[in-house]
């Protein structure tokens, strides 16, 4: 599972193509608030004009790369979507539309990363 924001997807979103090419069962969740919100909230002057980005359609990008997707606009839609994709055996992207007026919650991970066997 990949959980990321739209700003990060602009920098590294091509993993979708790899997941599609190799038929990997990976769920991509993209929070779309049309901004680099983390930069905005960490910026001393909070200049929104420097942190806004276009409201890209991540579902269309996924489609172009051969990945099915769904756009979520409410918590109820997210619940329905998660139930609906449980039986998928292919990459899938969920785009969650959200407000840029709230900071993204974050937590530092201090544990050891679990080593998994390579496929």
CATH number at residue 6: 3.40.50.970
Rounded Cα gap, residues 44 and 41, in angstroms: 8
**Structural domain includes residue 47:** yes
What pLDDT, in 10s, does the model give residues 58-106?
A: 999 999 999 999 999 998 898 888 888 888 889 999 999 988 776 666 6
Q: Kindly state the tokens that stand for 112.
A: 């050891």
The answer to whether 39 and 65 have CB atoms below 8 angstroms apart is no
Rounded Cα gap, residues 63 and 68, in angstroms: 6
Domains held by the chain: number? 1
**Structural domain includes residue 119:** no
**Structural domain includes residue 68:** yes
**Structural domain includes residue 112:** no
Residue with tokens 């109820």: 76
What totals of helices (H) and strands (E) does the chain contain, helices first?
5, 4
Q: According to the model, what pLDDT value does residue 46 have? A: 67
What pLDDT, in 10s, does the model give residues 36-62?
A: 877 767 776 767 777 888 899 999 999
**Structural domain includes residue 111:** no
**Structural domain includes residue 74:** yes
Q: Kindly state the tokens that stand for 69.
A: 């997707």
> Structure pTM?
0.80
What range does the domain containing 52 cover?
A: 2-97
Q: According to the model, what pLDDT value does residue 68 have? A: 96
**Structural domain includes residue 53:** yes
**Structural domain includes residue 110:** no
The dihedral formed by the CA atoms of 20, 66, 7 and 11, expressed in degrees to the nearest 10: 60
């Amino acid at each position: 599972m990949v959980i990321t924001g739209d700003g990060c997807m602009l920098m590294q979103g091509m993993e979708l193509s790899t997941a599609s090419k190799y038929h990997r069962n990976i769920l991509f969740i993209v929070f779309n608030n049309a901004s680099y919100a983390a930069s905005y909230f960490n910026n001393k002057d909070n200049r929104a004009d420097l942190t806004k980005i276009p409201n890209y359609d991540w579902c269309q990008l996924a489609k172009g790369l051969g990945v099915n997707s769904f756009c979520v606009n409410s918590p109820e839609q997210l619940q329905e979507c998660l139930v609906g994709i449980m039986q998928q055996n292919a990459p899938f992207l969920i785009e969650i539309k959200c407000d840029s007026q709230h900071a993204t919650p974050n937590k530092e991970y201090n544990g050891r990363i679990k080593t998994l066997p390579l496929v």
